[in-house]
Amino acid sequence: MYSTTRAWQVAWRITRLNFRAQLEYRGEFLMMVAIGAIWQISIIVFAAVLLTRFSGLGGWSSADVLLIAGMRMLSHGLYVLAFGRVTFMTFLVQEGRIDPCLLRPMPVYRQVQLTSFPVNAIGDLIVAVSMFAAAVARSSLTWSPGQIAYLAAGVVGGTLVEAALFTTLSSAAFHFPASFYWSQWMEELMGTFGSYPLSILPKFASGAFTFVLPLAFIAYFPAGVLTGHGTSLGVPELLAAGSPLIGLAAFILSRLLWNWSLSRYSGVNA
């Protein structure tokens, strides 16, 4: 217990030092916050254009669509804050910065997350929290304690699904330099399709976003369960309702894959 507490104290201290280091360059700090915010605002603008021209999408009311967008954006902001550095594994490997991590008495995955403070996550979260709060306020749900608990679990589960996807891709970075481009491609897909009902897509596409790239488990399924669309999601309602647990299981499996890939890493010049 003491060693675990001490380890997280060290991690928190490194995070504070990284944050203070970013503040040394105030202009760049503010620019990165703005970049994070602009990325999220672009999604809000696109959603607003759609919902002002149509009363809903794919049988979902505009308020229900906003809940999908709010949950996905908040999950993404939390992912960027807690796990986002894993996206840059390709550069850490190519620059030889992973090799010293193997010698330190701290899990390598945690060291990767502590390489820098994600300033853009501040902008992401400012916009995401605002969008999420607006979506919850506009929803017609009564928000019982059980619904509130499931909403929170859905957001956390969505964060873990996204972390699992990018952790899985980053596992390839130990052996394939092009994995960063795969991450960019996946992020584009998530930003394009993750904030809307997948029922508006052809069945093969919605199936791919459920069973191949499980985008549906980030916000679509949890929001569907909350808003009464559970029987029209294209999967058994129990599976959709289990999205938070699936997110946790997916993240655990991705970490096992990451550790397995790390164990076979033989050095940047090997």
Encode the chain (270 residues) as per-residue pLDDT tens digits.
547 788 888 889 999 998 998 888 888 889 888 888 887 777 777 666 666 666 667 788 888 988 999 999 999 999 999 999 999 888 888 888 898 888 888 899 999 999 999 998 999 999 899 889 988 998 889 999 999 999 999 999 999 999 999 999 999 888 887 777 888 888 888 888 888 899 888 989 999 999 999 999 999 999 999 999 988 898 999 999 999 999 999 999 999 999 999 998 887 655
Q: Please tell me the pTM assigned to this model.
A: 0.91
Which pLDDT score is estimated for 136?
Answer: 92
Structure tokens at 55: 């009363």
Close Cβ partners of 54 (under 8 Å, ≥ 6 residues apart): 62
**CA geometry: angle at 45 spanning 56 and 132, to 5°?**
75
Which pLDDT score is estimated for 54?
Answer: 67
Which pLDDT score is estimated for 209?
Answer: 93
Close Cβ partners of 26 (under 8 Å, ≥ 6 residues apart): none
Q: Which of 50, 85, 42, 87 is nearest to 66 (CA)?
A: 50
Cα(147)–Cα(227) distance, integer angstroms: 10
Which pLDDT score is estimated for 109?
Answer: 94
Which pLDDT score is estimated for 152?
Answer: 97
The amino acid present at 68, given as its one-letter code, is I
Domain boundaries, the chain: 2-263
> Which parts of the chain fold into alpha helices (H)?
2-23, 26-53, 62-83, 89-94, 108-113, 120-138, 145-171, 179-193, 203-211, 220-226, 237-241, 243-263
